[in-house]
Structure 1
Amino acid sequence: MKALKILIILLAITGSTVWSFQKKVVEVKNGKLSIEVENIFSTPCSQPIEYSIGNVDERFGMAREDFQKIVMDSEKIWENAMGMNIFEYNPDGLVKVNLIYDERQASSDESLKLEKELAALNSSANVLNKNYDDLKISYEKKSKEYEENLAQYEKNLKKYNNKVDDWNKSDKSSQSEYEELKDDKKDLEEEYKKLDKERKDLNSQSEKINGAVKKENKLVNNYNSKVNTYKDKYGATREFEKGVYSADIINIYQYQTEEDLRLTLSHEFGHARGIDHVENPLSLMYYLMADQDMDNPTLTNEDIREMKNVCEIL
């Protein structure tokens, strides 16, 4: 009997951490309440944390419904891995999830704007480079043709001048020779007109090349200026709090992509459940969002271990 009493006491003591009793109203019968007392197996995570959507600053350019969907997706990262309903959306939920716009997102937006401008300038530079290369290739080809035509013209001109000299030294009696000289002169004049047109075309193309070079130099200077601005403002490694959980409030301050936002929300949900930071850089609960897979986030062993610890799961 003594051993039995000790056993019962031990069971009562050890059981008190996992068992609780609550009264539940089942129904009303004949004007009387029918009360049922049931045993509930209880752990810290028996009931999901209910959350609601609070402030969604319109400066993020995200609709409230879209933000809510991403929030709900973020909790699934934990729940799918743990096989438990750990978090649950409720319009009146105690934990408020807010999207707060401040200097962090403003800085991120400016950084992204500069990056887009640099990308656009780089794209324009590529177009200018191709245009310059095309103009240069065309110029070199036409210049070669012009030099060849000019050499042929000078050769024909010399030949014509020699024939004229011979004609002048002759008795000038041959009408056929005279007509031939007239034809040669006409041909030379046509050749000269053609050469002059080619020369003007080359000069025009040379001006286009010079103009392209000036445009490219201006663009390069603009690009370099923006690169220096970007380096001055954002070149150094910056660490700041993208999100914070405190006193039943999750505030998200900065994100760049929806995947980034989802990962940050999952991290803060971990804090809401009572999990501290872990040491694995790949973990969802690592203090810095950098090396995790944003496109396909998964929990590491450290994440799972900490969730089991706070939920008292063996």
Structure 2
Amino acid sequence: MKRIRKWFFPALLIAVVLVGFRYRTDIVTAVTRWLTFSFCDRPITYKIDQIDPQFNITQNTLKQQLTIASDIWNIATKKTLFEYDQNGSLSINLIYDGRQRLVENINDTNNVVESQKLTFEQESQRYDRLKAELEAEVQQLNDKIDYWNRKGGAPKDEYDQLVKSQKNLQKRITELNDFTQKLNQNVEKVNQNITNLNSNVSTFNSLLKVSPEMGTYTSGVNKVEIYFYGSKEELEHVLAHEMGHSLGLGHIQEANAIMNPTASNSVKPTQDDINEVAALCENKNRLDLVANDLYNSLYTLIGRFQTVLTK
């Protein structure tokens, strides 16, 4: 029995070594997989929590726009970085505030102004055409009157026709003057709406100086909040931007980048966007991260110790 015990552990060790050598490739692969990881290995699941009804957007519509926003990153990395789950960890919320109300007023007023300007241009063209026709007919009538005056007078039939034409032209001149007044009134309406538009834009810009964020991502509670947007594309851009923050991406200064701090209607990632998310998703070594954390902790402790000694 003692002899068996004596040789048991050496034999077991030899067996382990032989098995390890036999399956060395599989073992190395398994250990390598365990040591390496990526922050993008598991998708972030998101859900829709709060939609203020004043946004006038349905949950299905928002879900579709979230799909577009998340696919910006999914397609860029060829990974599933985001996916919808009604019990997801990332909370998406639309929080209505005064800026959104101003955005809607600005858009509505701008649409009215553009419509009025188009109508005014069409009416102005009509006015110019009527005026030119009327001036030509007045000139023709004056030429006829001059002709008969040189002849010493027109026959009765011709004279009656000239009087009739003159009355008709006077009526049309009155109508054209009324039309001119109507155009002037329309100009006043357009100018008033432009004044209102400028006032809303000024108020909006003042609010932006105090609170410029269209949306925010709060890491502690893993929540995205969108406060205002001007168009469907702008909402998709802002959603993608805040979802990028939830990945760990920072701001990018490249124009029209998804991660640029200034929002736009761009829903296509720039090369800088792609480079940043690719770097984030690179494989990391667990031992390197542990060693780096230990180094940083030790460096901090030494710094504190030196501070104590110098006091």
User: What's the TM-score once normalised by structure 2's chain length?
Assistant: 0.73
Tell me which amino acid in the other structure corresponds to 2:226.
Answer: I
Aligned to 1:227: 194
RMSD of aligned alpha carbons: 2.4
Aligned to 1:311: 281
Q: Cα distance, 1:18 vs. partner?
A: 7.0
SS of 1:19's equivalent? helix
Structure 1, unpaired ranges of 5+: 1-14, 21-40, 160-186
Give the alignment partner of residue 277 of structure 1, picking from 230, 235, 251.
Answer: 251
Distance, in Å, in 1 between the alignment partners of 2:202 and 2:119 is: 23
Q: Cα distance, 1:227 vs. partner?
A: 1.6
Tell me which amino acid in the other structure corresponds to 2:189.
Answer: N
2:14 maps to 1:19: no
Give the alignment partner of residue 263 of structure 1, picking from 227, 237, 247.
Answer: 237
Going by fraction, where is helix more abundant, 1 or 2? 2
Q: Cα distance, 1:225 vs. partner?
A: 2.1
Give the alignment partner of residue 241 of structure 1, picking from 198, 213, 218.
Answer: 213
Aligned to 2:179: 212
Distance, in Å, in 2 between the alignment partners of 1:56 and 1:237 is: 22
Classify 1:197/1:313 alpha carbon distance in 2 versus 1 (closer, same or farther; 3 Å). Answer: farther
SS of 1:52's equivalent? strand
Q: Percent identity?
A: 24
Give the alignment partner of residue 59 of structure 2, picking from 47, 55, 64.
Answer: 64
Q: Cα distance, 1:310 vs. partner?
A: 3.4
Going by fraction, where is strand more abundant, 1 or 2? 1
Equivalent positions of 1:1-314 (< 5 A) are 19=34, 42-156=37-151, 158=152, 188-234=155-201, 238=205, 239=208, 240-246=212-218, 247-290=221-264, 294=266, 297-301=268-272, 303-313=273-283
Distance, in Å, in 2 between the alignment partners of 1:95 and 1:198 is: 79
Q: Cα distance, 1:262 vs. partner?
A: 1.0
Q: Cα distance, 1:312 vs. partner?
A: 4.0
Q: Cα distance, 1:191 vs. partner?
A: 1.2
Tell me which amino acid in the other structure corresponds to 2:76.
Answer: A
SS of 2:251's equivalent? coil
SS of 1:149's equivalent? helix
Distance, in Å, in 1 between the alignment partners of 2:89 and 2:73 is: 19
Query: Alignment length, in residue pairs?
Result: 248
SS of 2:180's equivalent? helix
Distance, in Å, in 1 between the alignment partners of 2:233 and 2:283 is: 29
The question of whether the paired residues in 1 share the 8 Å contact of 2:116 and 2:190 is answered with yes
Distance, in Å, in 2 between the alignment partners of 1:16 and 1:214 is: 86
The question of whether the paired residues in 1 share the 8 Å contact of 2:102 and 2:204 is answered with no
Q: Cα distance, 1:118 vs. partner?
A: 0.6
Note the alpha carbon deviations across 1:217-264, whole angstroms, 9 max, x for none.
Answer: 111122122222222331588342111111211111222221111111
Distance, in Å, in 1 between the alignment partners of 2:202 and 2:193 is: 12
SS of 2:224's equivalent? strand
Distance, in Å, in 1 between the alignment partners of 2:33 and 2:192 is: 65
Q: Cα distance, 1:155 vs. partner?
A: 3.3
The question of whether the paired residues in 2 share the 8 Å contact of 1:270 and 1:285 is answered with yes
Structure 2, unpaired ranges of 5+: 1-29, 285-311
User: What's the TM-score once normalised by structure 1's chain length?
Assistant: 0.72
